[in-house]
Structure 1
Amino acid sequence: MARMHTRKKGQAGSTKPIRTEPPKWSNTNKDEIESTIQQLATSGTSSSKIGMILRDRYGVPDVTLVTGKKIGTIMKEKNVSSKVPEDIHNIIIDVLDLNKHILKNPKDMHNKRALNNKISKIRRLEKYYRREGVLPADWKFSIQRAEMLIS
């Protein structure tokens, strides 16, 4: 999501080079890549970490060039995707850490504000994912449920 809680405009980032086929030096065995994704996903690895592992260990710079599908799509086809989207999962982990900190330091107003900002970001993403059908219609965020969900 964009910079909603700051006055900054954001940064320009680099763009990937336009390619239509994988490089000659890369691993292009489609079945091997899909089985590796399935193995890593069943062990609980997130899709972004799977992409880094494939790049660093297996020599696959871009999965979509080889397979024609994204890592998340392959995980859904193999029925090994997580119940909660990865971006909400990462923000929930941050919220739980901030909540622990605020319980120890109740006068820390800066981090209370940061906690409120993260919770509102989760609620916005939750509304989007419910509308898109990724999350069930009765899914609600609460810190107590989040602790059970993550642990």
Structure 2
Amino acid sequence: MGRMHSRGKGISASALPYKRTPPSWLKISAPDVEDNICKFAKKGLTPSQIGVILRDSHGIAQVKSVTGSKILRILKAHGLAPEIPEDLYHLIKKAVAIRKHLERNRKDKDSKFRLILVESRIHRLARYYKKQKSSHLSGNTNLPLLAHLWHRVRLELE
């Protein structure tokens, strides 16, 4: 599937390992991996950051092959899942940064256009989460809720 607002086709991707079992040289057990995931989540890391740390520092390529469940499901089971989905959070963070830039540079037409594109992605993603009946954006997802989320993200950035 291609990109939404650019010409790229998005073909490049990493290949998953053929074997779905953990490697024989990996000595860490599933409860230890879950404890590490919870420890990293309590430090405030996102699920993708946790996956990168586990891959680079602990040699765990796929958490699902070791524990049987994905990082986000483990976090949900322990009540440590992020309030806002990670992809939506990063889009909101980008929109807040563009708005901050536009406060200083009012005549920047390209940034105004890019802000419109980012906000349309945010609305599309919010509509997806609403359709999925996600606990993140259940109920009436509309502009006031997204404005509230933007405000929270902006406070985190400052």
Q: Do Structure 1 and Structure 2 share a fold, with TM-score over 0.5?
A: yes
Q: Which residue of 2 aligns with 1:141?
A: 146
CA RMSD of aligned residues (A): 1.7
Q: Which residue of 2 aligns with 1:47?
A: 47
AA matched with 1:61: A
Q: Which residue of 1 aligns with 2:22?
A: 22
* Separation of aligned partners in 2, 1:27 and 1:70: 19
* Separation of aligned partners in 2, 1:7 and 1:141: 28
* Separation of aligned partners in 2, 1:34 and 1:21: 17
Contact 1:26-1:61 within 8 A present in 2 as well: no
Contact 1:130-1:137 within 8 A present in 2 as well: yes
How far residue 12 of structure 1 moved from its aligned partner, in angstroms, is 3.1
Bigger Cα displacement from structure 2, 16-25 vs 126-135: 16-25
Q: List per-residue Cα deviations over 1:90-137 (Å, max 9, x = no partner).
A: 111111111111111111111111111111101000011011111221
- Count of aligned pairs between the two proteins: 150
Contact 1:22-1:28 within 8 A present in 2 as well: no
* Separation of aligned partners in 2, 1:75 and 1:4: 30
Which runs of structure 1 show a deviation greater than 6 angstroms over 4 or more consecutive aligned residues?
none
How far residue 60 of structure 1 moved from its aligned partner, in angstroms, is 1.1
How far residue 56 of structure 1 moved from its aligned partner, in angstroms, is 1.5
Q: Which residue of 2 aligns with 1:119?
A: 119
Which runs of 5 or more residues in structure 1 are unaligned? none
How far residue 9 of structure 1 moved from its aligned partner, in angstroms, is 2.8
Secondary structure of the 1:44 match is coil
How far residue 10 of structure 1 moved from its aligned partner, in angstroms, is 3.0
* Separation of aligned partners in 1, 2:110 and 2:138: 33
Contact 2:93-2:153 within 8 A present in 1 as well: no
How far residue 2 of structure 1 moved from its aligned partner, in angstroms, is 4.3
* Separation of aligned partners in 1, 2:103 and 2:4: 26
> Once the two structures are aligned, what percentage of the paired residues are identical?
33
How far residue 14 of structure 1 moved from its aligned partner, in angstroms, is 3.5
Bigger Cα displacement from structure 2, 87-96 vs 21-30: 21-30
Contact 2:63-2:71 within 8 A present in 1 as well: yes
Secondary structure of the 1:141 match is helix
TM-score by length of 2: 0.86
Which runs of 5 or more residues in structure 2 are unaligned? none
Matches within 5 A, 1:99-114: 99-114=99-114
How far residue 145 of structure 1 moved from its aligned partner, in angstroms, is 4.0
